[in-house]
Chain A
Amino acid sequence: MERILTRNIHKDDSQSVSVYEAGGGYQSLRKALKMDPDNIQEEVKRSGLRGRGGAGFPMGVKFSFMPKDGDKPMYLICNADESEPGTFKDRVIIEKDPHLMLEGCLISSFAIRARACFIYIRGEYVHGARVLEKAIQEAYDKGYAGKNILGSGYDCELVLHRGAGAYICGEETSLMTSLEGNRGYPRLKPPFPAQAGLWGRPTTINNVETLANVPFIIDRGADWYLTLGKPPNNTGPKLYCLSGHVKRPGVYEAPMGLPLKELIYDLGGGMLHDDRPLKAVIPGGSSVPVLRAEQCDVDLDYDSLAAIGTMLGSAGVMVMDSSTCMVKAIERITRFYAHESCGQCTPCREGCGWLEKILTRIEAGQGRQEDMGLLENIADNIQGQTICPLGDAAAMPVRSFVQQFRSEFQEHVDSKTCTVAHAQAHD
């Protein structure tokens, strides 16, 4: 299989503009600048490229929401706030092939007639920010960014902006509030960013990996892109993040629709311990519903995972073997959401804390008979009741863990101890 998004990452000095250019880099930008921006939008739309940040929204459709003219400046934001637990794919592009991301940013900015592209990178990615800072300087020096890019008359500034430790800022409206110099509180939609985004101006926000696809679509065309994966709705190359109980965790590229078991047992080298079989998989970052081992004959794409009640999300595939306590796993996930809830909406702020408290007591052997029902009830009262999807992201995994592994929760309550740890102690 040809590697596309990761074709450069193993090259020496892969971050440098000269290595990127030697591999054909920035030729797509040259080509794009000679095209009509609307035709670029159309080509991206036709490719079927869907957002790789988690929501899976078609990128070309998002572009088409932007006004075609008007006197307000317009912006592109590159969302490099990768923070979904289990996800570490954008980091590979940022650190190893920053110019691929920048070329995607520049072509996309041109396509929506943006005057600047803001790159919002999570604060913890200090190394990534340094790599990008250097790459941006190189792009300016080579005339790929700034005024009159490659003599085309098109101007676009690249501005690197560092977050400072807040998961919520990966949510697009929160990111904009944060970028404007505030606490990262999400905003109600509508208005959508394309109507009123940064400083009330039309704005499009795309994930790093999504943008990294754009140079290939321009270079080789939408027809080529449609041959990868499962057209028409699950196309293109995809980066899968494999973590947990496997022999070879890491980022793997494959055409969209890679079978989950191929990822775990072939690419990932199989289960970490040969005597501990697969118990559960979270296929798309910690916010998506968990799968039991017997549900794992599934392809990793938007539609296949939706069909069995979960989501591709950010493609953060977290693998758990038979030694894993499901109560402890969801307690850990829920602690994250309780910590990261921005506090703006009461159902999420209070509810996430309650969920964590109840899960902690079940794991500690102090669970009550009514706790499983209570967890589901609280999840129901969070989901759909908040400004942004963080509430949903906290509620969905809790509900799925309780439903998929109810007997394990019940055993914790009945035996007043963590039954999984107890069983292992007697192995």
Chain B
Amino acid sequence: MLGQEFEAKVDEIVSRYPEPKAALLMLLWEVQERKGWVDLESEVWIAERLGVSPAHVHGTVTFYTMYKQKPSGKYHIQVCTGLSCMLRGSDNLMDHLEKRLGIKEGETTPDGKFSLIRVECLGSCGTAPMFQLNDDYHEDLTLEKVDRLLDGLD
């Protein structure tokens, strides 16, 4: 489905486990890394490869919050608004991002550049407030730091 390199990687991952089904979460990550999200075609392909039903794969995808069921923005901003971050100003940070990007939490800018979501604790409470921008953590944020960071993105 995604080419030979992908299928070789799939075989290697499946071989790590005594039961093929155990590879499911890792295979979904491989799909998301390549496609940017997990589409239904990929779910069906994985189901066949692992010998489980497409419904099982879809049920798994929808259970975990990190699998994207639609494409996100080029820059996907996940703001931690848990208690420790709240105590250090994450609600202001969220307000600032919504104003600056002109979107509400859960939305993507019309040009597809930014998407913004609120997430639960990311384990960065000692460096709050923070967000995860695609894979990377940005910590000890101030509104000025956020503006500088976003200004620098193309």
Contact = CB atoms under 8 A, between A and B. Distances in A.
B86 A166 contact: no
Interface residues of B, number: 43
B66 A164 contact: yes
Nearest to A159: B16
Contact of A85 (B23, B29, B84): B84
Nearest to B132: A124
B136 to A, nearest CB: 7
Interface stretch (A86-94, A229-237, A368-376, A412-420): A86-94
Interface string B58-79: 0110011111000000000000
Contacts of A165: 64-67, 119
Contact of A86 (B22, B50, B83): B83
A418 to B, nearest CB: 13
Given A85-B125, A87-B125, A318-B87, A166 B64 contact: yes
A179 B22 contact: yes
A199 B25 contact: no
Nearest to B86: A332
A399 interface: no
Interface string B109-149: 00000000001111111111000100111000000000000
A150 interface: no
Contacts of A328: 86
**Size bin of chain A's contact surface:** 35 or more
Contacts of A181: 19, 21-25, 50, 52, 60
Contact of B82 (A163, A332, A342): A332
A123 B66 contact: yes
Contacts of A82: 123
Interface in B1-40: 16-19, 21-26, 28-29
A152 interface: no
A164 B67 contact: yes
B57 to A, nearest CB: 9
Contacts of A166: 63-65
Given A180-B19, A181-B24, A243-B126, A164 B29 contact: yes
A98 interface: no
Interface of A: 73, 82-88, 90-91, 122-127, 157, 159, 161-167, 178-184, 199, 241-245, 249-251, 282, 286, 316, 318-320, 324, 328-329, 332-333, 336, 339-340, 342
Given A85-B121, A123-B66, A249-B127, 12 more contacts: A86-B121, A86-B125, A88-B126, A124-B123, A126-B136, A180-B19, A182-B24, A199-B18, A244-B84, A245-B87, A249-B125, A333-B83
